[in-house]
Amino acid sequence: MVISNILNIKNLFNAFGFFRDLKRKDHKPIFGALDIFKYIGPGLLVTVGFIDPGNWAANIGTGSEFGYTLLWVVSLSTIMLIVLQHNVAHLGIATGLCLSEAATIYLKPWVSKSVLSFAVAASVSTSLAEILGGAIALNMLFDIPIKISAILVTIFVMIMLFSNSYKKIERWIIGFVSIIGLSFLYELFLVKVDWIQAGISWVKPSFPEGSILLIMSVMGAVVMPHNLFLHSEIIQSRQWNLKDEKIIKKQLKFEFADTLFSMIIGWAINSAMILLAAATFFAKSQKVDELQQAKRLLEPLLGSNASVVFAVALLFAGVASTITSGMAGGSIVSGMYSEPYDVKDNHSRIGVIISLLGALILIFFIGDPFKGLILSQVFLSIQLPFTIAIQIYLTSSKKVMGKYANSRFLTGLLLVIAGIVTFLNLKLLFDFLKG
């Protein structure tokens, strides 16, 4: 009985992520009924990029201007994201390589170096937006100047990354995502949501006059280059044995469950932002253009607690997404040297430092934080097509993936999704340049 209880406690801890980091070790696991819970985690780190400050701005603006009518965009975006993220995680499991490593090994040097250098720059751009989001939240809560807040966020994130193992970072991120989700759940209890209208809008496409730019903003912000690199790397924290076909197949199945579960959480949180904005700002005909404005408007509508909860959730979103963008930068740079991400390794550390400190330096040259967020998204829109292109090429190659290469149908589906996402991002870029 005592032994049984001890084993049950151990399984409970394992279910919530208290496991060893087994990357690239030929260790045969024992699969059990609760093994699926051991795989929950990598997808949630990717979800953080799906609920970052850039998404907040797009979702709040969408809900305040068009109410519930554009909820379908979140649903469609999530479906596309599930396909892309599952595909790139498939690469990590089947080859034992992250996207950056695979590009370095299988592409011509001039191609891989060009694309990956561009990806490092995109990581800096991503970190800029995430740090700014956390800085804006600190400014909301404590009136700390944006640039000083940005320094504080950067220091905190670097301490987190350099002093914690991957498994600890994963647990922190799961905690952050939980707090963000609970924050919006609390705020939704304070407002009257038209759930029938919301349910219809989640599945029924609608194109209100003047909504195209916001539709593109919401969809274009979903797929981010750094998340594609990151997911192919961190999924290998669940890696056991690349030589055992049965284990690989089971990993692929469990990885899809993790991706599906995590993306649904991202869908729920993004939807909650639009629901909150629709039930408060749209109902009062108050258009919101920036995050600080949203907090100021929430207070008279829902009380001071609601505005503080909003700012706290934004702070956790900013910090969590900065952590993952820093990890992505480390993964890209280490992959350029055909090495896995390891925060104790110099190449990984250099990638993290370039991503975070590069972004912090740029923030000091940006006078308008909101404009900084826009500029960062514009740069990402330029880089994204290159990252998706090498992902599809590598995962469709039998030389790279062997028997796990994409089917013709999947390759076609990926190309369609890539075309849609690329079009939306480039359209945003052209609109920005014309404006």
pLDDT of residue 151: 96
Task: Assess whether pLDDT exceeds 60 at residue 8.
Answer: no
Average pLDDT value for residue range 102-128: 92
pLDDT of the residue at 36: 59
> What pLDDT score was predicted for residue 371?
67
Note the pLDDT of residue 219. 75
Query: Which of residues 428 and 79 earns the better pLDDT score?
Result: 79
Asked if residues 219 and 424 have their Cβ atoms less than 8 Å apart, the reply is: yes
pLDDT band at residue 37 using 50, 70 and 90 as cut-offs: low
Q: What's 190's DSSP letter?
A: T
pLDDT in tens, 239-266: 555 666 777 777 777 888 888 888 999 9
Query: Which letter does DSSP use for residue 282 in this model?
Result: I
At 286 the pLDDT is 81
Q: What is the pLDDT of residue 395?
A: 96
Whether the per-residue pLDDT at 204 is higher than 80: the answer is yes
pLDDT of residue 24: 41
Looking at residue 406, the DSSP 8-state letter turns out to be P
Question: How many residues are listed for the chain in this entry?
Answer: 435
Query: Binning pLDDT at 50, 70 and 90, where does residue 300 land?
Result: low
pLDDT-derived band at 23 (thresholds 50, 70, 90) equals: very low
* pTM over 0.75, yes/no: yes
* Residue-wise pLDDT tens digits, 306-329: 888 888 999 999 999 999 999 999
Q: Which helix (H) or strand (E) holds 423?
A: helix 408-434
pLDDT in tens, 375-431: 676 677 778 888 999 999 999 999 999 989 999 999 999 999 888 877 877 776 677
Say what the pLDDT of residue 223 is: 77
Give the rounded distance of the alpha carbon of 390 from its chain centre.
19
Task: Please calculate the CA angle 256-273-213 and round it to the nearest 5 degrees.
Answer: 90
Q: Determine which of 14-18, 115-119, 137-141, 292-296 has the lowest per-residue pLDDT on average.
A: 14-18
What is the structure's pLDDT at 25?
41
In angstroms, rounded to a whole number, what is the distance separating the alpha carbons of residues 76 and 416? Answer: 13
Structure tokens at 191: 């407002």
Domains detected in the chain: 41-434 (1.20.1740.10)
Q: If DSSP codes are grouped into helix, strand and coil, which group holds residue 172? A: helix
Of 60-64, 213-217, 264-268, the one with minimum mean pLDDT is: 213-217
Dump pLDDT digits (tens) for 172-183: 888 888 898 898
Residues 6+ away with beta carbon under 8 Å from 270:
50, 51, 55, 59, 74, 78
Amino acid 432: pLDDT: 65
